[in-house]
Amino acid sequence: MECRRRSNFTECQMIEDNPKVSIVTPTLNSAGYLGDLLAAVDRQSYTNIEHVIVDGESTDGTVDMIRRYAEDHNVNWVSEPDKNNADATTKGLKMATGDIVIIVPSDDLIFPWSVSTAVGYFRTHPDVDIVHGDSIGWDIATGVWSLRLHKRFTYGYLARTQILTPQATYIRSHVLKGEEELDPSLPHACDYDQILRMARGRRVVNVPEFLAIFRKRIGAVNMRDGVSDEILKEVGIVRARHIQTSGPLHYLLVKWDRAYGAIHRRLQIFRMLRRSRKPDATGDSLNQGRPWSNFLASYTVSSQSARGLLTTLLPGRRQYDIDIWSRPGAKDLGAAERPRTIDSDV
């Protein structure tokens, strides 16, 4: 047991070489997608994993899939009625027994290196409370990928402008303790509210690696007509809970955040295109300080024209002439060949 002194309290936590990681997965009638996530968890290079699955009494074969998977995997699961996704996730967080916890809904995916990357950073940085990484949005209907590239973490930027991807956010269990409850009145922004509660006064670090894919599919709750307005409304409610959201200073800070974020994303994409030409022989983005080493060892990122390369630096562009495809011999996640990428960072 290691105890550390902070400004106003002493905090004790277990620092282990092999911490247990709990992956919490809420699910409902997702037999067509849950299997992909189970396979992704099974492919993790890190093995001390507890998979907590909370099913809302599915009727499409999801429960049978979970039951078969649990026969020879470390799975803690339940199938019972719940109010909504927030309620199911809260149950899962309370069931989790790991030293590190992450929420990965059944529609989504993690890369084979995701858990080991987060654990490796926690091992070498015991003062860090939350680790999050970059992520990819995958529109299943169109095959388009969108890159969510994060700048260095600041609480103000998170509260005013940014939204972290839960699937790429790893949290020490002592940070989560007492904050497991998600607000069921915020079905779209409950995780954003939770991370703002936990991140205040904590050490939060972005690691330069892609850690998750969030899949956008027809029929999902967050893909309904008019859902964008609902999401924006809930995000506004959450931000008002945690920061001052009116006045000229807030307006100027938001303008600055968006301008800075746009420049940062374009420079990151440009950097990724350059690095993709000479990927590392082995992924080691943490120790060598080379971003996206694992991702670029498995995927090629390329622009098909000089014009496409230049547009990555032009203001106002939301869609880029860039392709991503698997390198020969790399383990793909089922993505269509050469999906075009667009910038979707919030």
Last residue of a domain, one of 187, 211, 239: 239
DSSP-assigned beta bridge partners for residue 323? 302, 340
Q: What is the mean pLDDT of residues 192-213?
A: 95
Q: Is the pLDDT of residue 146 over 90?
A: no
Radius of gyration of the chain (CA): 20
| Low-confidence winner among 47-51, 94-98, 133-137 (lowest mean pLDDT) | 133-137
CA nearest 38: which of 61, 60, 70?
Answer: 70
Give the pLDDT of residue 77: 97
Q: Is the pLDDT of residue 286 over 60?
A: no
Q: What is the mean pLDDT of residues 303-322?
A: 59
Asked if residue 149 and residue 33 are part of one domain, the reply reads yes
More confident residue, 222 or 234: 234
CA nearest 121: which of 287, 272, 2, 278?
Answer: 287
The pLDDT tens digits for 246-262 are 999 999 999 999 888 88
Give the pLDDT of residue 344: 52
Q: Which residues form the domain of 304?
A: 248-343
CA nearest 247: which of 162, 164, 189, 160?
Answer: 160
Residue pointed to by tokens 């080991």? 116
The helix (H) or strand (E) run that includes residue 216 is: strand 204-216
Distance CA 180, CA 306 (A): 49
Asked if residue 319 and residue 273 are part of one domain, the reply reads yes
Last residue of a domain, one of 177, 204, 239: 239
Give the pLDDT of residue 227: 76
Last residue of a domain, one of 216, 239, 262: 239
The pLDDT tens digits for 97-116 are 999 999 999 999 999 999 99
Q: Is the pLDDT of residue 80 over 60?
A: yes
Asked if residue 325 and residue 177 are part of one domain, the reply reads no
Distance CA 27, CA 83 (A): 12
Distance CA 11, CA 175 (A): 10
